[in-house]
Amino acid sequence: MSDTPEKDPAKGRPLNGSALARTARLASLPVGFAGRTTLGLGKRIVGTPANLVLDEVQRRTADQIFSVLGQLKGGAMKFGQAMSIFEAALPEEFIGPYRETLIKLQDSAPPMPPGTVHRVMAEEFGADWRSSFPSFEDKPAASASIGQVHRATWHDGQEVAVKLQYPGAAKALISDLKQISRLARLFGVIAPGLDVKPLVKELQDRVAEELDYSLEAGAQGVFAAEFNGDADIVIPEPLAYTERALVTTWLESDSSLAQIITSGTQDERDRYGEAYVRFLFAGPSRAGMLHADPHPGNFRIMPDGRLGVVDFGAVARLPEGLPTSMGRLVRHAVDGEYERVIDGLREEGFLKARSDLDADTIAAYIGPFVEPARVERFTFSREWMREQTLRVSAPTVEGMGTAMKINLPPQYLLIHRVWIGGIGVLSQLGATAPFRAILEESLPGFADHLQD
C-alpha cells in the first residue's frame, strides 16, 4: 500500500477526510453496480432465472443510489432529485425497479442529527436563538438537497418553518458537481441515450444563487406577494433570513404532489396537475420569475384544497415574462407551419445557420411534442412520455439525426428544464388537463398568432 494521499482529480491536491469520503461514495455507485451485476451473472450460471437476477441487481442498485445520494446531500443529491422527475420518460424495463427510489428522492433525504441542528441555529441566530424560537422541533419536517426544514414557533407566536443549510453544503455542492460525471455514467447504464450534460451545466451555473438564502428570501417574497389571496396557490411568506437560514410562515400540509403520484385518485391527479402547470406558467407574468425546481416534493397539498409551493432557491429571472418568440414557435408548430418554425428556431439560436434540416424532418421531430396543445384536453401518461423519449433517441433522421443538430441557447436552459420537467410530472400523474387553454392564457405569443 502506498502512503501517498489520494488526490482530488479535479485539482490535483490532497483531499481532506470529508472530501475523500464523498468522492469514495460517488465512486461506489458505478463500482457497486458492476459488482452486483457480476454477482448476478454468477447466480445465472447456477440456474436462477435471468429476469429475477436482473430485478434483484436493479433493486439493490436503486437502494444504493438513494443511500449514497442522500448521504451526500449536495450536488449529487440535487442531481438525483432533478433526475427523479424524468422517470416517466424511461423505458419500463429500466425504470420499474427504480421508480420508488427516485420518487423518494423527490420528497426526502436523511436528516441532520439534533446536535448539528442546534449548532447551526446558534451560528445563524446567536447563542440565545431559543429566545426567538420559543418552541423548535428537532426532527425535521422535510429534508432536501442542501437544507432541511424544521417546524417552530416565532417570537410573536406564529407557526414558522425554519430552513437550515447543511454545514459544508457549499463546498459539498461544488465538489459533487465536479464529480458528477460518475453519476452521469451510472444513469447512462440505467437509460442509455439520456443526455444529462445540460442539467449538470445548469446546476453549476446556479450554485451561487441556490446557496444564498437571502436571494431565495427575496424571490419568495415577490411570489408570496403576487399570489397572496390566490384561489388555487398559497406561498409561505419569508419573515427572516441569513445566508444559510430562512424563516417563513408555516404551511400546514400532510402530503405533497409526490404522494399524489404514488397513491392519489384520478380526480386529485387531474386537479393538482392542472394547478401545478398553471402556477409554473403564471409565475413569469405575475412575479417576473419562473419557479425552476419543478420536482413534486416542492408542491404541497393544503387542507383547503389549494396547492402550496415551497423552495424558491432556483428561479429564472424573467422580468418581461416568458419569451414571446417561444409562444409563437409553439403556435406555428401546432398549426403545422413548419417553415415558419424553422425560421424561428434559427432566429432564436436553436438551429445553426448552416443546418440542413427541412420542414418535414422538423415536423416529424417536434409534431408529437405539441400534441397536448392541439386538443381541448389532453391526458398525459408515462406511456406517451416514454414514446416521445424513445422516438427522439432512435438512430434515425427524425430521431437522433435531428436531435444532434438542435442547439439549446443558454437563455432557454431553465425554461427548457421546467417545461420538460413539468411535462414529466404531468405524465407521472397521468393527469388530464386543458393544456391548450393554459398556453393561450399564460404563454405570450401563443394566442397572438390567432390574430395574425
Per-residue pLDDT of 375-432, as tens digits, reads: 999 999 999 998 888 887 777 777 767 777 777 777 787 888 889 889 999 999 999 9
Q: What is the pLDDT of residues 241-264, one digit of tens each?
A: 999 999 999 999 989 999 999 999
pTM summary value: 0.73
Lowest mean pLDDT among 48-57, 233-242, 304-313: 48-57
Identify the CA nearest to 114 among candidates 147, 136, 131: 136
Which has more pLDDT, 170 or 222? 222
- Tell me, yes or no, whether 163 lies in a domain: no
Q: What is the pLDDT of residues 144-200, one digit of tens each?
A: 667 899 999 999 999 999 999 988 777 766 665 665 555 555 554 443 333 456 556
* The pLDDT of residue 24 is above 90: no
Domain ranges, residue 341: 324-451
- Tell me, yes or no, whether 342 lies in a domain: yes
- Tell me, yes or no, whether 7 lies in a domain: no
Q: pLDDT-based confidence at 44, cuts 50/70/90?
A: very low
- Tell me, yes or no, whether 174 lies in a domain: no
- Tell me, yes or no, whether 92 lies in a domain: no
Element (H, E) at 388: helix 382-392
In whole numbers, what is the pLDDT of the chain averaged over residues? 77
- Tell me, yes or no, whether 132 lies in a domain: no
Neighbours of 53 (CB within 10 A): 18
The CA-atom distances, in angstroms, between 218 and each of 35, 222, 242, 281, 350 are 47, 7, 12, 20, 32
Identify the DSSP state of 128.
Answer: T
- Tell me, yes or no, whether 343 lies in a domain: yes
pLDDT attached to residue 144: 65
Which has more pLDDT, 208 or 394? 394
pLDDT attached to residue 163: 96
Give the residues across from 248 on adjacent strands. Answer: 161, 238
- Tell me, yes or no, whether 395 lies in a domain: yes
Residue 166 CB partners (closer than 8 Å, separation 6+):
73, 74, 112, 146, 147, 148, 172
Contact criterion met (CB below 8 Å) for 158 and 248: no
Domain count of the fold of the chain? 1
Which has more pLDDT, 237 or 357? 237
